[in-house]
Structure 1
Amino acid sequence: MEYVIVTGTSRGIGFELSKLLADAGYKVLALSRNEKPIKSLNHKNIEAFSFDVSSVEDRDDLSNYLKDKKGNVIALINNAGKLINKPFLELTEEEFMAVYEVNVFGVAAMTRLIIPFMDKNAHVLTISSMGGIQGSAKFPGLSAYSSSKGAVLTLTELLAEEFKETGPAFNALALGAVQTEMLEEAFPGYEAPVSAKEMAEYIMDFALKGQKMYNGKILQVSSSTP
């Protein structure tokens, strides 16, 4: 069975992306701590799991599921993200670590888990942020979030080099403002020029085809600041 795996599917881009992929006929494993929104779709092509990318037990369960199904993963879309908007001196060590647990360590762990279920032509696509791009506009309160998004960009480049002979391909999209709940947390009241569904359409196309043209690349997908 061929699967596309999407993390962070309870809302925003991940939710819309799962729907679009499923409607296009792909078997989607939709992973999110809150699986109820995506399960409520009752879509025949979506398997929704309550899943925390930072949980060893949850990752073991996913690995066993794929082994049982003899799963072949054609694309892993690392979309799950955690954001805390708080001045640096007010951030606790636990809060800073919590952001990295999802945005960096969770991405690394998921990628390590899924690679054995992929072939040379598969694609690991990580959703990052313009805030992680060196030299881009930076904003107070996002020290943990934006620095974590920078970390996975470098990780993407390194993994592409390490697996360039055997595959899969690794790329990352650094997104600008998209109208989601997370944007509201970062920039209350800001109206983005792009909807979650519009960005999901772009991500779906890139996740399925982008590895033919790109490997180890960071693409900036933004028409605004932030």
Structure 2
Amino acid sequence: MMNKNIIITGTSRGIGYELAKLFADAGHNVLALSRNAKPIEDLKHKNINAFPCDLCNLDDYKNVENFISTKWNHVDILINNAGLLLNKPFSETTFSDFTKVYETNVFGVSELTRIVLPFMPRDGHVITISSMGGIQGSMKFPGLAAYSSSKGAVITLSELLAEEYKETGPQFNVLALGAVQTEMLKEAFPDYTAPTTALEMANYIKDFALSGNKYYNGKVLQVSNSTP
């Protein structure tokens, strides 16, 4: 398999961090984006480029565009992994709470995808990480109104983009994850232990990113072995 150019967001910890290492160790070129770039920079991996990127800051998208155009010229895979989880009773949420969650989980996905698309080949693959909470008809949990509704929004967005680009590519798919033992989950639900580790899920996402677009486009795959 030829080495790929892969962009991953949310790489400072959890699934994104493990994904960056897995792809880089396999010989692929990785651009790792997160607000805190230090953890991934500290790896000093020859196949990883990293710089701070805040999906809520429009100027940071220019840095991504400049990197692609000057260093790579094309992007094979984009993994929209960054996410903000808010666990708060709906009656206590504010306009600002919803804005913050949607800026990262929805607007960030939309804008980064728009920036990267001109550099993607026909067989490129855009994967957006959603949640089982964003699946219509799935079990819902109190306190996750902003988070789960944002994860539902990116599902619909990906379906629309798959239709809009079906003649030219790339392919767009969504992985709706169940509970994964990450720092973000621990912060939101301190007493809950998930059955799947970040590394285990990262291995699954890596394999799907490399070959899933041969079989799926505009699809949502539910990746969960637990209720939440």
Aligned to 1:168: 170
**What percentage of residue pairs aligned between the two structures are identical?**
66
2: CA distance between counterparts of 1:71 and 1:13?
26
CA contact (8 A) 2:5 2:72 kept: no
Offset of residue 72 of structure 1: 1.2
Contact 1:2–1:71 (Cα < 8 Å) also in 2: no
Tell me how far apart the structure 2 counterparts of residues 169 and 81 of structure 1 sit (CA, whole Å). Answer: 21
Listed one character per residue, the Cα deviations across residues 125-150 of structure 1 (whole Å, up to 9, x for unaligned) are 00000000011111111100000000
Residue deviations 1:139-166 (CA, integer Å, cap 9, x gap): 1111000000000000110000000000
Please give the TM-score of this superposition, normalised by the length of structure 2: 0.97
CA distance in 1 between partners of 2:8 and 2:193 (Å): 26
After TM superposition, the structure 1 = structure 2 runs for residues 129-148 of structure 1, keeping only pairs within 5 Å, are 129-148=131-150
User: How many angstroms apart in 2 are the aligned matches of 1:14 and 1:2?
Assistant: 17
The Cα offsets for residues 31-53 of structure 1, whole Å up to 9 and x where unpaired, read as 00000000110000000110011
Q: Distance in 2 between matches of 1:220 and 1:62?
A: 30
Distance 1:115 1:146 in 2: 26
> What is the distance in 2 between the residues matched to 1:45 and 1:70?
13
Name the counterpart of 1:31: 33
Runs of 4+ in 1 over 6 A off after TM superposition: none
Once residues 205 and 112 of structure 1 are traced to their aligned partners in structure 2, the CA distance between those partners, rounded to angstroms, is: 24
Taking the aligned partners of 1:191 and 1:71, their CA distance within structure 2 comes to 42
Question: Gapped runs of 5+ residues in structure 1?
Answer: none
Aligned residues of 2:162 and 2:217 also touching (Cα < 8 A)? yes
TM-aligned CA deviation for residue 70 of structure 1: 4.1
Matched, 1:108 2:110: yes
Matched, 1:42 2:33: no
Superposition map of 1:172-191 within 5 A: 172-191=174-193
What is the total number of aligned residue pairs between the two structures? 226
> 1:63 and 2:65 equivalent?
yes
The SS at the match of 1:125 is strand
Q: Residue type matched to 1:84 in 2? A: L
Q: CA deviation at 1:207?
A: 0.6
Using structure 1 for the length normalisation, give the TM-score: 0.98
What is the Cα deviation at residue 78 of structure 1?
A: 0.1
Secondary structure of 2:222's counterpart equals: strand
Q: Deviations over 1:189-220 (max 9, x none)?
A: 21111100000000000011100000000000
Structure 2 gap ranges (5+): none
Preserved contact between residue 4 and residue 77 of structure 2 (Cα < 8 Å): no
